[in-house]
Copies of this chain bind each other. A is one copy, B any other.
């Protein structure tokens, strides 16, 4: 083994045999879902059934949010120049940053700080929540994960937390997330409901993901929606059009239910 040899523990590649975290890829195919495969690749082990279900919900929740998010607009702008799909998708991912998707990582840091305080101080969720609100306020920092410019009651956050409770994986992080929402109203006198970034952050914390991977799930999820937008742009719009983010109408299928 020469000096510059380096180590990887993700995939073992041999002729006619591929092991992802120890499992043969062809054995995984047909046996696990894409979400389970994603969990396996990133964490090194397969998720429990509950973890698989909630991860599916996280990844479904953020597939798309219409044409106005910067990731969608960057992708459509690039696609309108005749660029290939991968360039448009790469441009979208570059727009998933601090103010767009980036709140997941910041909110995971917030919740980890709160839960850590709770343990250190042997405090309740409510006390820990008030302590971090105070800490951010003293530091002049905005609390990430709360409030949305459009949704006053985000249906995605509500559904995700409902699932977390039903699946019995709502422990400290989900609870402290709720306590912070209550604490904000008490302290600052305004309702800033947990947004979808915040709800995803709490559930990722419950599953033991480090905050550095928070945005990864938003990226994977949104890439699917971006691909739909790029394809729509390429097949229905003229190249080099001026894309006004606000002057658009939805002309798809009307509301329907899963039955």
Residues of chain A whose beta carbon lies under 8 Å from any beta carbon of chain B: 1-2, 4-13, 15-35, 37-38, 41-42, 44, 53, 55-57, 59-61, 63-68, 70, 73-74, 77-78, 80-91, 93-100, 102, 150-156, 158-160, 163, 212-213, 215-216, 219-221, 223-225, 227-229, 231-232, 234-237, 239-258
A85 to B133, CA, bound (A): 28
Chain A contact surface mostly: mixed
Which residues of B sit under 8 angstroms from A1, Cβ to Cβ? 249
Contact B33 A155 (CB under 8 A): no
A59 to B41, CA, bound (A): 12
Which residues of B sit under 8 angstroms from A19, Cβ to Cβ? 255
Which residues of B sit under 8 angstroms from A163, Cβ to Cβ? 29-30
> Are A16 and B86 also in contact (CB < 8 A) when A81-B97, A247-B6, A252-B21 are?
no
Closest CB of chain B to A46's CB: distance in Å?
8
A83 to B102, CA, bound (A): 10
Which residues of B sit under 8 angstroms from A28, Cβ to Cβ? 60, 258
State how many copies of this chain the complex holds: 4
Q: A33-B60, A77-B77, A90-B90 are in contact. List 8 more A-B contacts (CB 8 A).
A: A8-B252, A10-B225, A12-B252, A20-B64, A30-B53, A41-B63, A90-B91, A216-B231
Which residues of B sit under 8 angstroms from A16, Cβ to Cβ? 151-155
Closest CB of chain B to A91's CB: distance in Å?
5
Contact A224 B77 (CB under 8 A): no
A221 to B249, CA, bound (A): 31
* CB < 8 Å neighbour of A245 from B25, B56, B243, B255: B243
Contact A18 B65 (CB under 8 A): yes
